Amino acid sequence: MCVYGDTGHGKTVAVHQALRLLPRRTPVHRALVSVKPALPQLRAALLTAFGLSAPSLTNRTDAADRALLQAFQAPGALVIDDVQRIAAPELDYLRLLVDAPTTQTSLILCGAGAERTLARAPALASRMLTWQQVPRLDTGQVPAVLRLFHPLWDAAIDADLLHADATWAKGNFRTWAEITSHAYAALARHPETAVDRALLSRACSRLGPTP
């Protein structure tokens, strides 16, 4: 699966929330990759994601590959966020792992421009069963999504949330996460404060400049 969309649209949050809906017995592994990792670094990140001994296996290519192929035999999900950091040759290594006939682990690739990254690795792209774009929030979605995201917004009225979205957030989920953090901090200092347009204005005033 490839989850793609512009920066700040909430791809990572969406993937994590969806994975929480899986049965608890389904293992979920998350690989943290650096910028343009060489194959040894990618291999080490995958070993770590599966809880394998990366330090002892990283420099033993054959042993590391066998360990990963064995790990991929178990049903589960492997999530790689910011996949746009990975170059085409290293992406082909992922293709070799998922191509093994014994593989049962699902590969979930997520990132801004992930679809363009996979276009440079057509062999792996052709194996993507599902392509899911995460767009900017539509105006009508904002109140419901925010109340699912954090109970802070249960007390806010739709008109105030829509005003803040039109003025500052403009459908960007990451901006709303920042607004939520600032509003939550303000309420922690002054619990008597109402969750209204004034609180939203104060929280939004702490955002950085927008282009």
Q: What is the CATH number of the domain that holds 47?
A: 3.40.50.300
In a domain, 209, yes or no: no
Confidence at residue 58, expressed as pLDDT on a 0 to 100 scale: 67
What amino acid occupies position 133? Answer: Q
Domain shared by 115 and 161, yes or no: no
Q: Are residues 126 and 186 in the same domain?
A: no
Position 208 confidence tier, pLDDT thresholds 50, 70, 90: confident
Q: For the chain, what is the mean pLDDT?
A: 93
pTM of the model: 0.85
Among candidate residues 110, 133, 156, the one where a domain is terminated: 133
User: How far, rounded to the nearest angstrom, does the alpha carbon of residue 82 sit from its chain's CA centroid?
Assistant: 8
**Same domain membership, residue 91 and residue 69:** yes
Domain boundaries, position 106:
2-133
Q: What are phi and psi of 30, to 5 degrees?
A: -125, 120
Q: Residue 210: what pLDDT?
A: 64
Domain stop point among 114, 133, 152:
133
